[in-house]
Structure 1
């Protein structure tokens, strides 16, 4: 039997987590990925993209996903990998899509989204949003 161990707003986040588990020898599965890819506005309503593993691998998989390997990334990038909030200098940032919820509401009312949304990062401490213009971030 499969158990959902994590939920993600975007399919690429689930793919990264799945690859991390599979690199450690744990077989993982992604549910609802194609539905969210076809209609991203359904992500919140469906509970996002689900990452699943077998019951026997639940504890080990959660331990692997909870490990913070950001120091390894910083080391590989020579210290250039840490982003800081422009407002409060915190490094507690998360990927965020601005305008996603209003677009979903307009979609429900009119059948098509009219708002443009922006991808970026949001500070978890002060709430400041910074739009990301390039693909490299």
Structure 2
């Protein structure tokens, strides 16, 4: 499956966000629950360059706090795949598979899922 082409990085998206909402970096930070220095580092590409290393929760918080920018748009600018919705049918299939596993298999799968979730959270 082809992923959409990234046309702007996170710093560029944040510049547009600031213009669109008339906010500064401190206000962005306050609304998403991070330190102003964190947003400043993103804007100046000192940390999380291009979005890598920016926590998934921070990207999601941007979409909630500034709804004119979608989660998909924000994650794309950050060079990250946005988490997709889990349909009830998908959840039921996963649960059925899980129920058919031994306790050892469940522990292994849970460890793998935690590792993937941690990777998604940090983007590293």
Asked if these proteins are the same fold (TM beyond 0.5), I'd say no
| TM class, shorter-length | under 0.3
Higher helix share: 2
Structure ranking higher on relative contact order (CA contacts 8 Å, 6+ apart): 2
TM-score by length of 1: 0.22
Higher strand share: 1
